[in-house]
Amino acid sequence: MILEGKVRRISGPIIRAAGLGGAGLFDVVEVGEKRIIGEIVRLEGDEAVIQVYEDNTGLKTGAPARSTGRPLSALLGPGLMGTIYDGIQRPLELLYRQGGAFMVPGERGNPLDTEKKWHFTPDAGLAAKLAAGETVPATAGMTLGTVKETESITCKIMVPPTVKGGAITHLSAEGDYTVLEAAAKTSLGEEIPFAQWWPVRQPRPNAERLSPDQPLVTGERVIDVFFPLSRGGTAAIPGGFGTGKTMTQHAVAKFCDADVIIYIGCGERGNEMTDVLTEFPELLDPRTGRSLMERTLLIANTSNMPVAAREVSIYFGVTLAEYYRDMGFHVAIMADSTSRWAEALRELSGRMEEMPAEEGFPAYLPTRLAEFYERAGRVRTLSGAEGSVSIIGAVSPPGGDFSEPVTQHTKRFIRCFWALDRDLANARHYPAISWIDSYSEYAEEVQPWWEKVNPRWAEVRRQCFDLLKREQRLAEIVRLIGPDALPDDQKMILVTSEIIKDGFLQQNSFDDVDMYCVPEKQVRLLELMMEFHERAYTCIKLGAPLTKIHSTGLKEELSRLKSTVKNDELSGLADFEGKMRSALEELERSYRTRKNQ
């Protein structure tokens, strides 16, 4: 229902308008002569409280406020992929061509190009049934046909979940169509266009939620082996300024085995978002050799844009992700950062004079975080396909304090926590993910998958964790009395831990070999390191000094295997294994003979 009202009060991006009491909650409102976009967030009698998503400088009381009668929605259809949007799905490149570098309040741009024609190929099975005169029910999620959106992504044209039923009476023939034309018609008179609107705050339905027992392989060893994330899982990357949150997300976005990447720059600095906008189009997709932008969607909502649009940007991002999930794609969302989004909630809550909770954040902060992260998941779609949405949210706690509310509440709703350590970042150890403070609750669920790669995955992972914990305790002793006071068997723990840190946990994004590590190589590297430790430890127990271990040169060579052995030439690992066994077995025999004499 379309209603007309008048602006009564203005408090920054929060506006009170009289005459809109009959409108719906979260309906879109156009305010002022420039028709800036807003959303109703509260109804009080005849008044509506509106948060506007554009700069409202110059707006006066008495200005018109018009409710459009529909909730804030995203337009979903061919042409999304490779586009750069702001927080309310305005295409930034189009707006730049229309009005220059600075956005003008009230400026509009169609989310999808309504004049471009896309080549539609109808579903062969459905077309054959209709040609034979069969009655085909119009069921939600049914595939009507396909459109080649990019060289990497084929977009399925589906019956929307809002379909009222009936039967398919008409299916468009193969040819070129705009997104506004009808792909099909039903017996109830409904037209199903190529592009459809969907409310961003409403999750898209699915048939069944599946177990998160398939890992999202990222090629980052510390993530995949130590703290794995499953497809459809949720993860947080908390860390102070300069610890590498954005760069870690870039690495995951480039190399993870998701089909579609959605990057949400939520309240980040303009120069940081500029790096994303300039780098992503130049990155090559490792799987196709083509531009990564062919399967990437960017939502750029920088810190100098209106704060209310920052709050809604993550809902647009996850709605676009669910749309591609429903086609059977595996989608990964990079939200950078949820802390800026929470700050937007805090500012808007203050403007609405709500009672603040911890550190001024609204009392509903945990609820909003839960609503966002719970839209992740691996599902059986309405069409029967399998798809997933994985969410990786960066958290920017002030001063790197993980006890602040956003980090603490986020930990309640995610199952994978990649804590970034400032000391590691300062030592140029990247990714700076702390193996002490991080955790993953998906490890047991993805274990069967990893054991198909290497049956010893869980065993060597546990051995490595135990070794690093022992090294942490020894490091405290070393700080007090120095390393020379330790016996050789304890020094050996420090040596192996150094190999693990340098040769496994640290990864060089600028090294053509080391920037990505296949699962087989990841487990074999760790397996070799643990075997080296066991054999060297045995030699030391037989009386061999640590200097004899160092003299073999195996330590340095083992640390360099990550860069010297290519992903498709893993025979190099077997060659090193033979060399290592030969050297350490000979050393063990000589000292065992001495001990027996």
Q: What is the pLDDT of residue 101?
A: 75
Burial annotation 46-82 (CB, 10 A radius, 16+ → b, else e): ebbbbbbbbbbeebeeebebbbeeebbbbbbbbbbbb
Q: 3-71: which CATH architecture?
A: Beta Barrel (2.40)
Q: What is the pLDDT of residue 160?
A: 94
590 upstream amide cis, omega within 30 of 0:
no
CB 386 within 8 A of CB 328: yes
Q: 113-192: which CATH architecture?
A: Beta Barrel (2.40)
Q: What is the pLDDT of residues 429-482, one digit of tens each?
A: 999 999 999 999 999 999 999 999 999 999 999 999 999 999 999 988 888 888
- Which residue is listed with tokens 């949820």? 338
pLDDT at residue 594 tops 70: yes
Q: What is the pLDDT of residues 169-193, one digit of tens each?
A: 999 999 999 999 999 999 998 999 9
- Which residue is listed with tokens 């939502």? 299
291 or 15, which is more confident?
Answer: 15
Partners of residue 120 on adjacent β-strands: 147, 175
Cα distance from N-terminal residue to C-terminal residue, the chain: 98
Cα atoms found within 13 Å of the Cα of residue 213, Cβ hemisphere only: 9
Distance CA(576)–CA(421), nearest Å, equals 32
Q: Pick the closest to residue 247 from 79, 108, 411, 424 (CA basis).
A: 424
Q: What is the pLDDT of residues 396-433, one digit of tens each?
A: 998 888 999 999 999 999 999 999 999 999 999 999 99
Residue 124 vs residues 171, 173, 381, 529, 557: alpha-carbon distances, Å: 11, 11, 20, 54, 57
3 state SS for 30-62: EECCCCEEEEEEEEECCEEEEEECCCCCCCCCC
Q: What is the pLDDT of residue 39?
A: 93
- Which residue is listed with tokens 């958290």? 395
Q: Pick the closest to residue 47 from 18, 26, 8, 11 (CA basis).
A: 18
pLDDT at residue 292 tops 90: no
Per-domain residue ranges for the chain?
Answer: 3-71, 113-192, 208-442, 457-596
Distance CA(100)–CA(410), nearest Å, equals 38
Partners of residue 333 on adjacent β-strands: 262, 391
Highest mean pLDDT among 265-269, 279-283, 383-387: 383-387
Residue by residue, DSSP assigns 491-550 as: HHHHHHHHHHIIIII---TTSTTTT---HHHHHHHHHHHHHHHHHHHHHHHTT--HHHHH
3 state SS for 58-82: CCCCCCEEEEEEEECEEEECCCCCC
Q: What is the pLDDT of residue 485?
A: 82
Distance CA(581)–CA(369), nearest Å, equals 52
Residue 237 vs residues 396, 418, 433, 463: alpha-carbon distances, Å: 8, 5, 9, 25
Q: Provide the token pair at 585.
A: 């077995």
Q: Pick the closest to residue 239 from 440, 56, 437, 492 (CA basis).
A: 437
Distance CA(116)–CA(120), nearest Å, equals 12
CB 390 within 8 A of CB 216: yes
Q: Which CATH superfamily is domain 208-442 in?
A: P-loop containing nucleotide triphosphate hydrolases (3.40.50.300)
Q: CA torsion sign, 518 to 524 to 525 to 530? A: positive
Distance CA(324)–CA(377), nearest Å, equals 13
Distance CA(533)–CA(537), nearest Å, equals 6
CB 235 within 8 A of CB 418: yes
pLDDT at residue 545 tops 80: yes
Rg of the chain, C-alpha, whole Å: 28
Q: What is the pLDDT of residue 223?
A: 97
Q: What is the pLDDT of residues 314-327, one digit of tens each?
A: 999 999 999 999 99
The CATH number for 457-596, chosen from 1.10.1140.10, 3.60.70.12, 2.60.40.2470, 1.10.287.110, is 1.10.1140.10
Q: What is the pLDDT of residues 23-67, one digit of tens each?
A: 998 899 999 999 999 999 999 999 999 999 988 888 999 999 999
Residue 57 vs residues 11, 18, 60, 65: alpha-carbon distances, Å: 11, 20, 9, 16
Percent of the chain with pLDDT over 90: 74
Distance CA(211)–CA(484), nearest Å, equals 50
Average pLDDT over residues 561-573: 94
- Which residue is listed with tokens 């406020």? 65
Cβ neighbour number for residue 492 with a 10 Å cutoff: 20
Q: What is the pLDDT of residues 491-522, one digit of tens each?
A: 999 999 999 999 999 999 889 999 999 999 99
Burial annotation 315-342 (CB, 10 A radius, 16+ → b, else e): bbbbbbbbbbbbbbbbbbbbbbbbbbbb
Q: What is the pLDDT of residue 247?
A: 86
Q: What is the pLDDT of residue 564?
A: 95
Q: How confident is the model at residue 597 (pLDDT cuts 50, 70, 90)?
A: low
CA 143, 145, 151: angle at the middle one, nearest 5? Answer: 115
Mean of the per-residue pLDDT values for the chain?
Answer: 92
